[in-house]
Structure 1
Amino acid sequence: MGLEDAGDLVLHIILTKTGPENTARVACVSKSLKLSASEESLWSIFCSIDLNITTPIDPHGDSAPSFKRAYGLWRESFRMYPWNLVKRVRCCWDNLKLWLSLNFPEANATLRKGVSEEELEEVETVLKVKLPLPTRLLYRFVDGQETSFANSLGGSLGIIGGYSVYSHEVNVYLLPLKEVIKETKETMRHIGFSSRSNLIVVAVSAASSMKIFFLDSTNGQLYTATSTRQMLPCVPESLVRSVHDVDGDQQQDAMLLWLEEHARRLQTGVIKVRKQDNIKSISLFPEVPPLCSVAVTNGVQVRASSVFIPEIANLRQEPPAYWYAYSVRMSLIPEGCFLNGIHHSSCQLYWRHWVIRADDAVIDTVNGEAVIGKYPLLQAGEEEFVYESCSNFPTTTGSIEGSFTFVPRSLKDPKGSQFEVKVEEFPLKLPDYIF
């Protein structure tokens, strides 16, 4: 039995499975098959699967007369790129935009519309580089962030996010192409790189701290610099392949991999939006195990995790200094703390004790009153008390664990003996992906 002899439902199922390219070929066989291969319901499925669009629109967001026409316009607009790569980049941005729209609409509003091929060529001409295809596609869909918005509210709207330790504040946003040119020229001149360098600046910290991400237009790797201008890869080298070394549907570069991994961490809750002093931002401190430790002692919960700080690291000195920021979040569960058969609705921190290891060897112990000069009073069911500090290590792998000493009720009015609250060991490790 030929395709023309199949029933409408069977034919629809077959064409759905064959995909848009083969469906277009089937349409050339006969008039009856052309009619079946042109059904709107069929092309709406292809548009949904390949482009995640539920209404017929073109790449500019304008209405198209049909799903079939919309699909054709998309293919025509991106004809110079492997289609599987187009779908992958589109999926990456869709995932990021969806998460941002649900969790951080203020940052989502800073994303700019994509650029044209002409605008990409202008950047390449001015900076004398050739951008990897995946990077070009990333900018075709989204031209970074509107910097005037991203820098508002103290520079907290960067979609990559950041951290703060004492006066050191970081919040990273993606540059639009116009800022890529400006920042690249200024940065290269400032750090003394050759004007013929293949590095371009694609992301920076909106806050005062100097954190910059460089894309190598030759090998597609993404780098960030240490305090001594040593370039650290932000994506595992084993994953980054030159666009000339792989087939069309396998083309990759670090910037795309970097954003895909960032989207995965946001979607799975590894990192989240944090609100502090009524300002929201994406915090890079991990929120779930194993990167975040969790312990509950007598009703006091302590969560702790760390972030590598490349911009203040010094890997040229001997021994090297790998710097990490760490965040400790403590709270009292709604039931309060339970000591010697008595419930207390509050307790207050008095003392801290840390054991710090590098490569499993203890390199320091810390004992002292308070944390960053504060004695947090925890109330049952209230929000976490959060504090950040930092430490440097001579190795790429370390850990911190310890305990806090609390008194039931408060230091001014204690209602029982002091008790220890455990801080489970949490890792400080040079990460595979640096954000």
Structure 2
Amino acid sequence: MALEGVGDLAINLILSRLEAEDTAKVACVSSRFRVWASDESLWALHCSEEIDLAAPLDPLGNPAPSFKEAYQVWRETFGMYPWSLVKRVKRCFDRLTSWFRINFPEVLNTLRKGASEDELDEFERSMGIKLPLPSRVLYRFYDGQKLPRHKLCGLIGGYSFYNHSVNVYLLPLNEIMMETRDILDHLGFTSGSKYIVVAASSTFMEKFFFLNCANGQVYVGTSNLREDGQMMPCVPDAALTSVHGYKQQDAMLLWLEEHGRRLQNGIIGVREEYKIKRICLFPELPPQCSTAVTNGVQIRASAVLVPEASNLQDLEAKYLFAYSVRMSLLPEGCTVHGMTYSTCQLYRRRWIIRANENVVDVVNDEGVIGQYPLLFPGDKEFVYESCTHLQISPGSVEGSFIFVPGRLADPKGEPFEVEVAVQPLNVILSVNGSPTTPAAKSLSDLPRKRYNKRADDHGFQWKPYKEPQRRITSQKTKRYILSTQPNVEQSKEDIILCNCRELKDLF
């Protein structure tokens, strides 16, 4: 019996086992096979399995007449790239956009329409570089972000402690050209440099991520970036393998995939302070986040490396770590010596900081950041951030709090000690790669340090910031905070960008 004699249902079942390209070839056999191979259910299956389309949409999100035509448009749009790479990039962005759609939809409005092939070609000619193939595909999907003024909608996010606040977003091509030329010109790099800035902080604190278009690695600048180009890799070198059979390697795609995985798994998430939302990079789940409960008081703690304030040449204080401590009282209240109390208040803290198992600092003082939080059952966590320098890694921070049942002004029982579990301070866990100083040019005769354009445009200047002596023993690492010039009024929005926590004094 000829194959044409088999029923339509059987033919449809057979064709559904084929790849999309084979289905298209079958359509060339005869007019009857063309009808079978054009069945909408087959192409709906291909669109779902290959590019995760639940509706017939083109790459710009516009409706297509059918799943078959939608699939055809996708293949034609990205026909110059390996299809497996296109599918991988789409999965990466699908994971990110689906998470943001539920948890932080404001970020989706900042994503720019993907760049065209002509725009990418012009960008490469203008910058004198050749983008790694995966990077070109990334920018074909989305040309970075366009952030609204005074919004912390960076797709990568950041952290805040004291007056140090960063919120990283993906730069569009036009900003990549501006930022790259500014920094490379400052460092004295030649026009043939293979580094481009692909992400930066939208706040007044500098933090830059670079893509090396020659080896595909992503780097983050340290505090010495504008002095001698010092950077640290963001992805382990072992992970940089040939991408889909091509020699070009790209850590940028791996970096974004890992970021999406952390968001989806709840390792990091959205934090809202004073009605301002942003992605917070302090981990929320073990093992990166430690948890201890003592007498009903729960303490959670996690830490991140702050590469933009670290100095790999400083032998006394090479790495700066920021740590976040969250304290809360469980719904049943606190229990001390068999007595249950509905409130308790922090009195003292004691921190032990170790580097390579050796104690390098001990902090024993009242309160935290000048506050004595009063905890109530089931209330939101009280959160505070601080920082510490380490000479070497790995290290750790641990300690305890002294709480008083009731209030400090009206104690209801004896003070009790609450444990803070050991929190690792690990460079590899923090940046996904060992610190190095790769291919960054050093100049013996440096030009005068420039002010950040984002600050200059708004009438602000930078000045060195000195950390409290008891928290950071070394003052060698250069840090900067925002300060207003004389007779310049600082708005609420500008203070938000510098540090959300400062808003408590404004309302």
- Name 2:199's counterpart in structure 1: 203
Aligned with 2:18: secondary structure? helix
Q: Which structure 1 residue ranges, 4+ long, deviate > 6 Å from structure 2? A: none
Alpha-carbon distance, 1:293 to partner: 0.1
- Compare relative contact order (CA 8 Å, sep 6+) and give the higher one, 1 or 2: 2
* Residues 1:29 and 1:346: Cα distance change in structure 2 (over 3 Å): same
In 2: Cα distance, 1:349 partner to 1:68 partner: 64
| Conserved? CA contact 1:338–1:344, under 8 Å | yes
Against the structure 1 CA distance between its residues 39 and 376, is the aligned structure 2 distance closer, same or farther, given a 3 Å change threshold?
same
SS at match of 1:112: strand
Match of 2:160 in 1: 164
Q: Partners of 1:129 and 1:320 in 2: how far apart?
A: 36
CA distance in 1 between counterparts of 2:86 and 2:235 reads 21
SS of structure 2 residue aligned to 1:189: helix
Instruction: State the partner residue of 1:266.
Output: 263
Q: Which amino acid in 1 is paired with 2:52?
A: N
- Counterpart-to-counterpart distance in 1, 2:34 and 2:154: 48
Render the CA deviation track for 1:77-112: whole Å, top value 9, x for unaligned: 111000000000011111111101100011121111
Matched, 1:221 2:223: no
3-state SS of the aligned residue for 1:36?
Answer: helix
What is the letter of the counterpart of residue 113 of structure 1? K
Aligned counterpart for 2:420 among listed residues 420, 423, 431: 423
Is contact 2:215-2:249 (8 Å) kept?
no
Counterpart for residue 349 of structure 2: 352
Given the alignment of the two structures, is residue 400 of structure 1 paired with residue 397 of structure 2, yes or no? yes
Other-structure match for 2:336: 339
1:146 aligns to what? 146
Alignment pair present for 1:177 and 2:143:
no
Taking a change above 3 Å as real, the CA distance of residues 116 and 416 of structure 1, as seen in their structure-2 partners, is same
Per-residue Cα deviation, 1:320-340 (whole angstroms, up to 9, x for no partner): 511100000000011111122
Q: Which moved more, 1:10-19 or 1:423-432?
A: 10-19
Shift, 1:355, TM fit: 1.5
Offset of residue 433 of structure 1: 6.3
- Output the CA distance in 1 between the equivalents of 2:74 and 2:248: 19
Matched-pair contact (CA < 8 Å) for 1:220–1:242? no
Count of aligned residue pairs for this structure pair: 428
Deviation at 1:61, TM superposition (A): 2.7
Which moved further from structure 2: 176-185 or 317-326?
317-326
Equivalent residue letter for 1:108 = L
Deviation at residue 54 of structure 1 after TM alignment = 2.2
1:191 to 187, 191, 204: 187
* Percent identity of paired positions between Structure 1 and Structure 2: 55
Q: State the Cα deviation string for residues 403-422 of structure 1 (Å, max 9, x = none).
A: 10000011000000000101
SS of the aligned residue for 2:17 comes to helix
SS at match of 1:203: strand
Aligned residue for 1:116? 116
The one-letter amino acid paired with 1:127 is M
Structure-1-length-normalised TM-score: 0.95
| 1:95-114 paired onto structure 2 within 5 Å | 95-114=95-114
Q: What SS does structure 1 have at the residue aligned with 2:23?
A: helix
Query: For residue 17 of structure 2, what is the amino acid of its counterpart?
Result: K
Distance 2:391 2:348 in 1: 27
Q: 1:13-52 alignment to 2 at 5 Å?
A: 13-52=13-52
> What does the per-residue CA deviation read over 1:349-384, in whole Å, with 9 as the maximum and x for residues that have no partner?
111111211122222222111111111111111111
RMSD: 1.7
Cα–Cα, structure 1 residues 236 and 60, in superposed 2: closer, same or farther, change >3 Å? same
- SS of alignment partner, residue 136 of structure 1: helix
Gaps of 5+ in 1: none
| AA matched with 2:245 | D
Q: Which residue of 2 aligns with 1:330?
A: 327
Deviation string 1:16-41 (CA, Å, 9 cap, x unpaired) is 22210111122222332222111001
Aligned partners of 1:125 and 1:433: how far apart in 2? 35
Which residue of the partner structure matches residue 371 of structure 2?
A: 374
CA contact (8 A) 1:235 1:432 kept: no
The runs of 5 or more residues in structure 2 that have no matched partner are 433-507
Equivalent position amino acid for 2:315 in 1: E
1:403 aligned counterpart, secondary structure: strand
Distance 1:2 1:422, change over 3 A: farther
Q: Could you tell me which residue of structure 1 aligns to residue 312 of structure 2?
A: 315
Question: Counterpart of 1:204 in structure 2: which amino acid?
Answer: A
Aligned counterparts of 1:5 and 1:400: Cα–Cα separation in 2: 75
- Tell me, what secondary structure is at the counterpart of 2:369? coil
Distance, in Å, in 1 between the alignment partners of 2:271 and 2:333 is 24
Q: Distance in 1 between matches of 2:119 and 2:420?
A: 52
